[in-house]
Amino acid sequence: MAGFEPEWARLSCNENTVDTAPFIELRDVSFAYGERTILERINLKIPRGRLVAIMGGSGSGKTTLLRLISGQVAPQQGEIIVDGRHVEHMSERELFEHRRRMGMLFQFGALFTDLSVFDNVAFPIREHARLPDSMVRDLVLMKLAAVGLRGTEALMPAELSGGMARRIALARAIALDPQLMLYDEPFTGLDPISLGAIAHLIKKLNDALGTTSVMVTHDVQHSLNIVDYVYFVAGGTLIAEGTPDEVRASDSPWVRQFVRGEADGPVHLAYPAATSLSADLGLGAPHA
């Protein structure tokens, strides 16, 4: 059984080759909302320290994948293992423990609208670490500097542009130096400059902090430039995977259509709703 890999085997793998010991592993995961199947028999392995993108059209179930990894929803079937721990059986306490080592950037940032930028970034620090105010302040300023927005501490989220809000949210997500970063559509609704800045930041943070990052996106161009590996999800199953170079050279019609953003192709025939795909891929078009 694949589920009973001995502990020593995993440890030795960690020491020798990072690639073969997955930080995140999904085995045979299925998920449904009521009768509606969202994901079916997903298997994937993400090695430690990698930046991986999960791509697919709207409603393909890729955001659900993130929610499964963060433990916000539990699968009906299958196993989700993050850093050797089974997420699907976690009690509430264990889940909170799990999430403490995890950061997540939400689609539109999800900044707390009633708190200032400073308090937003300080939020996870204050909640989880009893630190003196001066230390909290230093940490917040460091994180803000990391996203290039030092000096915005006193602003309220309503006063920020979309790109700035996203970067503040990123600063908040990395406030506790997470081992795992999850990005939910980090590029949606941003102008090209902010978009480039966010993409650059994600790459930089991944390399600098050594975190494992999973990014769910339908923005092919920007993600292919920064990620190490790509999974394609459609109709609740993984249909293709590969490094960015492999993906660009892929002869799968589906991948070609997705990467090039063609209106017509296999997706058009199989999924009528995906006709808006090209619009989705256009820069600045908000996610429906």
List residues near another protein by CB under 8 A.
70, 72, 95-100, 102, 104, 106-108, 110-114, 123-124, 127-128, 169, 182
Cβ 106 to another protein shortest distance, Å: 5
> Within 10 Å of residue 33's Cβ, how many Cβ atoms?
9
Q: Are the C-beta atoms of residues 53 and 255 closer than 8 Å to each other?
A: no
Cα atoms in the Cβ-side hemisphere of radius 13 Å centred on 204: 12
Residue 23: φ, ψ to 5°: -80, -40
> Within 10 Å of residue 136's Cβ, how many Cβ atoms?
18
Q: Choose between 156 and 224: whose C-beta lies nearer to another protein.
A: 156
Q: How far apart are CA 57 and CA 132, in angstroms?
A: 45
Q: Choose between 91 and 113: whose C-beta lies nearer to another protein.
A: 113
Q: Choose between 154 and 269: whose C-beta lies nearer to another protein.
A: 154
Query: Can you say how many angstroms the Cα of residue 107 is from the centroid of all Cα atoms in its chain?
Result: 10
Q: How far apart are CA 169 and CA 86, in angstroms?
A: 28
Q: Are the C-beta atoms of residues 99 and 75 closer than 8 Å to each other?
A: no
Q: How far apart are CA 275 and CA 282, in angstroms?
A: 13
Q: Choose between 99 and 222: whose C-beta lies nearer to another protein.
A: 99
Q: Choose between 70 and 152: whose C-beta lies nearer to another protein.
A: 70
Cβ 8 to another protein shortest distance, Å: 30
Cβ 33 to another protein shortest distance, Å: 14
**C-alpha dist (Å) from residue 5 to 11, 44, 193, 285:** 11, 16, 46, 45
Q: Choose between 124 and 163: whose C-beta lies nearer to another protein.
A: 124
Cβ 165 to another protein shortest distance, Å: 11
Q: Are the C-beta atoms of residues 64 and 45 closer than 8 Å to each other?
A: no
Cβ 128 to another protein shortest distance, Å: 7
Cβ 113 to another protein shortest distance, Å: 7
Q: Choose between 106 and 254: whose C-beta lies nearer to another protein.
A: 106
Cβ 70 to another protein shortest distance, Å: 5
Q: Are the C-beta atoms of residues 45 and 25 closer than 8 Å to each other?
A: yes
Cβ 152 to another protein shortest distance, Å: 18
Q: How far apart are CA 53 and CA 224, in angstroms?
A: 8
Structure tokens at 48: 């430690």
Q: Choose between 86 and 260: whose C-beta lies nearer to another protein.
A: 86
Measure the CA angle with vertex 221, ends 45 and 102; round to 5°.
40
